[in-house]
């Protein structure tokens, strides 16, 4: 039996679909037949060549993609349950972590595996056994004894696809930032991360949620996801005016938590100035090397500011994210997040579309595309 893997050989270029033999899972491993994969902002960074420092220039038979869900095709010996102890059988829908904390180092022992300095990353060179190491392919080989969660029946695939990235990431980040009942939150950027953050913060008991973006479609969606105030960059064209707007909406104090979910470092100084004294800045957005900003350290000291920066999340967050989804399916229109679904064989077109939407900022579209592997 063979399965397809999408391979990128030139940045901003076409993908090539290659076939590889589908492996049998070793004891403890799981072979998953993927049904959906998402095109995330970070995948676009990779496709555009903005992460050459990491993946080489030119890319070396690059295969990637990290947002996905699928069905258990075959269970390795001794796998009988998911990470929450629920029985796991062939055919069950699952989601899983795409980075692999070692679980055996002094940082992991502190209890937050997101911080593991030895966490293994996905294999990104096509043709490396067990071949199915990323989201853009027919299968995924989940390495032995890794974290995996059964997807509740009521959560459709399109909603489940970004759970292992955006949703778990913001749920984890807001928890680490210490967001509490009654807090005010500013979300910079109402893209995939931002919209999920709004919905999660509402569920966590935030009192007032303010978001800032330029694209009208995203601002509408932000309100539907639970934002009290969706501010447009077109109405407030300068940082000074946006900072003042946040002050006005927080009784002059500034926000308890401000989260950068944009991905460009120039928003950070502005966001830091939106904090109340003693507030927390949550940095998640920037993942491209060389994203430099400058800020007055004395202003941080005088503002008693706390900065929390997060890459990835601890496995517990994925389990909680599924529970959050099940609880909020009726309240939040998660099904509006993915606007375009392309079959895997049209992956090149899907990337061009997703990228075009980002640059043009078409008000009528949402910038989320997904791939379908269903046959």
- Decide if residue 120 touches Zn ion (CB under 5 A): no
> DSSP for 303-314?
TT-EEEE--S--
Binding mask 255-294 for Zn ion (x = CB under 5 A): ----------------------------------------
Alpha carbon 159 to chain centroid, angstroms: 13
Smaller CB separation from Zn ion, 102 or 299 = 102
Joined tokens for residue 24: 């049998």
Instruction: Report the half-sphere exposure of 341 (CA within 13 A, side-chain side).
Output: 14
Binding mask 53-72 for Zn ion (x = CB under 5 A): --------------x-----
- Decide if residue 246 touches Zn ion (CB under 5 A): no
- Decide if residue 369 touches Zn ion (CB under 5 A): no
Least distance CB 74 / Zn ion (angstroms):
26
Stretch that binds Zn ion, among 104-112, 200-208, 342-350, 360-368 (CB under 5 A): 104-112
Smaller CB separation from Zn ion, 3 or 41 = 41
Residue count at the site for Zn ion (CB under 5 A)? 8
Q: What is the DSSP letter of 162?
A: G
Instruction: Candidates 32, 51, 116, 310: give the one binding Zn ion (CB under 5 A).
Output: 116
Residues 345, 17: contact at Cβ < 8 Å?
A: yes
Q: Quote the CA–CA distance of 354 and 347 in Å, as a whole number.
A: 10
Binding positions for Zn ion, 144-173, rule CB under 5 A: 165
Three-state SS for 31?
Answer: strand
Contacts of 170 (CB under 8 A, 6+ apart): 193, 196, 197, 200, 259, 261, 284
- Decide if residue 102 touches Zn ion (CB under 5 A): yes
Smaller CB separation from Zn ion, 141 or 313 = 313
Residue positions counted in the chain = 375
Least distance CB 191 / Zn ion (angstroms):
11
Backbone angles phi, psi at 40, to 5 degrees: -95, 165
- Decide if residue 40 touches Zn ion (CB under 5 A): yes
Binding positions for Zn ion, 309-338, rule CB under 5 A: none
Between the alpha carbon of residue 17 and those of residues 69, 127, 144, 251, 350, the distances in Å are 20, 12, 27, 55, 14
Stretch that binds Zn ion, among 9-17, 117-125, 253-261, 333-341 (CB under 5 A): 117-125
Smaller CB separation from Zn ion, 39 or 186 = 39
Q: Which neighbouring-strand residues pair with 94?
A: 70, 150
Smaller CB separation from Zn ion, 116 or 219 = 116
Smaller CB separation from Zn ion, 118 or 326 = 118
- Burial class (CB within 10 angstroms; exposed 0-12, middle 13-18, buried 19+) of 269: middle
Cβ count within 10 A of residue 85? 8
Site for Zn ion, rule CB under 5 A: 40, 67, 102, 105, 108, 116, 118, 165
């Amino acid at each position: 039996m063979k399965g397809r893997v999408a391979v990128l050989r030139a940045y901003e270029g076409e993908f090539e679909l290659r076939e590889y033999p589908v492996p049998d899972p070793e004891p403890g491993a799981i072979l998953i037949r993927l049904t959906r994969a998402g095109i995330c902002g970070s995948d676009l960074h990779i496709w555009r060549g903005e992460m050459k420092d990491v993946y080489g220039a030119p890319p070396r038979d690059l295969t990637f993609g990290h947002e996905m869900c699928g069905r258990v095709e075959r269970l390795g010996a001794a796998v009988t349950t998911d990470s929450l102890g629920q029985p796991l059988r062939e055919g069950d829908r699952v989601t899983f972590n795409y980075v692999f904390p070692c679980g055996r180092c002094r940082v992991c022992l502190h209890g937050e595996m997101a911080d593991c300095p030895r966490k293994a990353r996905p294999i990104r060179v096509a043709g490396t056994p067990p071949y199915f190491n990323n989201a853009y392919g027919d299968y995924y080989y989940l390495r032995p004894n890794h974290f995996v969660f059964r997807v509740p029946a009521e959560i459709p695939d399109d909603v489940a696809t970004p759970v292992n990235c955006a949703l778990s990431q913001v749920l984890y980040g807001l928890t680490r930032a210490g967001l509490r009942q009654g807090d005010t939150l500013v979300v910079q950027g109402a893209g995939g991360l931002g919209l999920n953050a709004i919905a999660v913060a509402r569920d966590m008991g935030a009192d007032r949620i303010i978001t800032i973006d330029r694209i009208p479609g995203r601002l509408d969606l932000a309100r539907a996801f639970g934002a009290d105030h969706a501010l447009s960059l077109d109405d407030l064209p300068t940082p000074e005016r946006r900072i003042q707007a946040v002050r006005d909406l927080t009784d002059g104090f500034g926000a308890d938590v401000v989260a950068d979910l944009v991905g460009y470092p120039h928003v950070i100084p502005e966001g830091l100035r939106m904090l109340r004294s003693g507030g927390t800045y949550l940095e998640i957005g920037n993942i491209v090397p060389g994203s430099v900003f400058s800020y007055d350290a004395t202003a941080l000291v005088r503002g008693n500011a706390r900065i929390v920066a997060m890459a990835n999340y601890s496995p517990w967050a994925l389990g909680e994210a599924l529970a959050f989804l099940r609880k909020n399916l009726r309240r939040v229109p998660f099904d509006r997040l993915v606007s375009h679904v392309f079959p895997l064989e049209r992956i090149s077109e899907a990337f061009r579309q997703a990228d075009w939407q980002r640059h043009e900022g078409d008000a009528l579209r949402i910038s989320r595309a997904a791939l379908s592997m269903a046959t």
